[in-house]
Structures are given as C-alpha cells and as structure tokens.
Structure 1
Amino acid sequence: MKKILYNEIDGFKIIVGEAALIVDPEATKKKVGNSIENTEEFKQQKKYADEMNNHWRMMAQSEESYKLAEKQNNKKKMQEHEDNYYYHRKKYKELEKQLHKLAPIINKKRSELFKENEVYFEPSKNEIHVEDAQCDRLINLFMKNSYVNTEGKIIPDNRGIYYSKDKEWSRHEITKIGVDPQIDWIKEKNLTSDSKEEIYEQFELERIANLSPEDKLKEAEQLKVKVTSESVYMKHELEIKEDPKATEKSRKYYKEECQKIDDLYGIK
C-alpha cells in the first residue's frame, strides 16, 4: 500500500505526488494481540523459562540445605546437596543456551506477525491509500500529464483567452481546468495577424462608444497633443531637408489626424 497526495483544484482531486504509508505501532500491536503467544516457538520459550525458574529454585534450596548440613557437620548431606546444586545448575545452563537459540527465531516470528498485520495511520487531508500497482499506474499518468485526478482521469487544461466570430468578434475566457472550449472558439495565440487587427479595431470602437462625453473629449485631447508633437517633428525634419512646403505639409498632417480623432470620438 502507498498513499497518493492530491490538491483540490476547481472541484477535481488532482494528483501532486506519492508517499509511503506510516505504520501505526499501537494499532498494529493491538491487532496482533496474543498471536505470538499461540506460536509453537513462544510456547517452547515459556516452557524453557518455567523449567529454568524451577531449577533456579532448586539451586537456592540446595544452597540453603548445604549451609544447614555444614553447621551440623554432616559431610554426607553436604555432598548430596552440593551434587544436587550442580545438577540443577547444569540443567539451568543447558536450558539457557536453548533459550538463547530460540530468541532470534521468536523475534523473527514477531516481526513477521507485525508485518502481516500492519495497521496504517488513517489518510490525512488530501491523501488516499491505494494498492502499489494502482499507485504506480496513477503516478505514471501524473508524470506524463499536467492534471490527473485520483481516479486516473486526465483533466484537460484549456485555461486562457479565446475568440469567436459571428458577424462580430466575441471574447471568451476559460478560468478553470476540465472545461472544453466550444468548437468555433480560437485560442488567442492561434489568431492570425488580420484577425488580431480586426479584434483590436472592433473592441476599441466598442470601448470608445461606452465612454462618457467628458472622457471622450479628454482622450481626444490627449491624442491631439501627441499629433501636435508629431507635426512639429515633421516640420523640423522637412526644414532640415530645405523643403519650402514644410509648414504647409505639417499643418495638413495635423488637421487630417485631428479630424480622424474627432470622427473616431464623434466630436463635432
């Protein structure tokens, strides 16, 4: 199992990466429960431990009995208790070796049980848990496409400005992923130079038409200031070239351009 990370974009759960799952040790321990105690290895370990405890008690008992026999100067009993002590000590050591051999086997068994019964922390916000194969499939799609949702569907990204023409040009904008443009829409970057010029002229006329009379006069005056500068520059250039009609030509240019501005803004 792995987890897929995603972000909510325009109502879609869009994949942004993957991550390994994190095991919840307490929940796993609870799930495993007493399973380890039911294994043959654990039962054998308990048996060895119980026998070792018994031999340990017998060693302690033999030691006490030896001290008592020593006080009584009963050498026969002293020897019996000494022999008994070393007998149980030998058995204890033998069992201890067996227990040490069994320890790694039990630890391995415990690890296997924990691995088989792993419980993962619940998915956090913007996470889902999926099988490894499903995760690999989704990430493969994610690496090849900009927007893939958690169900493995490729979400189109058509965001941008579009134009369509039916007698006049219309402007459209797609602001969200997963939205398809209408069949007659043309993306802004795909417009021809002629179309761009038509659109500019149409929209500029519409913009001017929506201006208040005061704003029309203000814009027109600003444009005429520019025309004045152009006329002055033209006159100076013509005079440098010793054109005898420098003033006449520059004035004519000024009047014609100002008339165009008045016509454009509807000024009479």
Structure 2
Amino acid sequence: MASPRVLVLTGYGINCEEETAFAFSRCGAQCRIMHVNDLIADPGQLRKAQIFVVPGGFSYGDDTGSGNALANKMRNTLWSELMDFVLGDRLVLGICNGFQVLVNLGLLPGFAENYGERQVALISNSSSRYECRWVDLLVPENHSIFLQDLNRLHLPIAHGEGRFYAPLEVLPRLRDGGNVAMMYADQEGNPAGGKFPQNPNGSLFDIAGICDDSGKVLGMMPHPERALVLSQLPSWPDMTARQETGKWDDPGPGSVLFQNAVNYFSK
C-alpha cells in the first residue's frame, strides 16, 4: 500500500498541529492539516484518510472544561463520519487536549465498540497548577497499535487538566482488559504509585493514556511529537558532552509511536 494519509485537525486553540504533522511526515506518511470548520463543510475528507489525529493545545481556551467544547462541536456535526472512521480499519490518535476531546466524545475507552458514552474523565491536576516536565512512562501489555514493541518511554507533558479519573466499576475493566496504554513511572520503570512529581497530576492507577478494545484508538497526555529527535531530550547536552549519542536528528523516543502507525498500513 502507498503511504498512509493522515488528517491532522486544527482550529480554535489547537496549537500542536504542525509538529504532529511533521512527525508523521518524517515517518513516511502523507499529511494534511485541516481546520475543523473545513472538515465539517466537507466531511468526505475524513474518508480519504487512514489516520485521524486531534493534536494538543487549548481548544476553545479550555472553556467549560478541557476538550469539552470541541468534542461537542464534533459530536453535533461529524458523529456519523467519526463512527464510520473508527469502525473501519483506521487509526485515531488524541494527544493531550486531543485525548481530552476523545474522552469527552466517548471514543475512549470504547469498551466492546460502545462509543459515544463518556465513561472516564481528565480533570484538574491534583497540584491545581499547570504541570510542564518530562516524565518516565511504563507501557504495560495493551491493545494499542501505536505502542507495539514498547515497554518504556520518556516524554514531556504540559497540561493543567490531565488527572485521569474513572468510576470504581470502570477502572478494573481498564486495568484487566488491556486498555491501559501507558502509566507514569519512576526512573527504574516501576509504577509511580501516585507519587508527585513522577505522577505529575494525580491520575488514578498512574494512567497516562488509554486505548479502545481494538487498539486502533489511542489517547495520551504526554507529547510524543515533542520527543521526535534526540536533540529535543533534556539530556541531550550531557549526551553530547560524553559523546554517547548519534546525530542531533536521530529518532527520539516519541518517533516510535508515529512509525508504528505508518507501518500498520505498510504491511
């Protein structure tokens, strides 16, 4: 198959579309950045894509809660097209604010293709502050196509409402069903156990990302597009001083997620 086509959403405060599109392009995909209003006017553009991405940012200024207003706009205008997309052999990725949008849409966790019902939430950080730092991540056994062959990651986070919450009846199903895609961890790769700053927001069960049962829809608070090349890592100056690294633009830890998605359509 030819390079997969990626549609990256933009508009109303989304601010990571360029670097997200660049990440997919670097891994061999054909990318198009499209304003949500243009997609509403021409929803057929979604059918032309194999991967749909809602990037990070602050859509609608986080008014009424992060991701809520954009989710409502999409639900009221694009729900049929989104369902056709999700139920097909296609991939959906939500990063940070995009994760919040997918949760508010009810596309995650999407147990047994039960999409549309909001079952989990991303709420204000326990610190009541915007948190911006690099975090260690544990990738447990899960369904996600994006995270194949990964067990640990080191990625940046930047959010004010990233604390994962799920009702008591939902959390065990996430944990036991392979829907927990990534967890905040310590430097040794052990779960953070809710401790700050390893768990930067107070997420239940240290959850940093979840996927649906099919593994084709992934939402995550960390930003893989900001760890695309080695020189973006905070350890880069020390690595170069010790001559322990390759070129500045060699793939960084976030690159693998985008490459896995592209490779899925190259089989």
Which bin holds the TM-score, normalised by the shorter protein? Answer: under 0.3
- Computing the radius of gyration from Cα coordinates, the structure with the larger value is 1
Between structures 1 and 2, the one with greater strand share: 2
Q: TM-score, normalised by structure 1?
A: 0.16
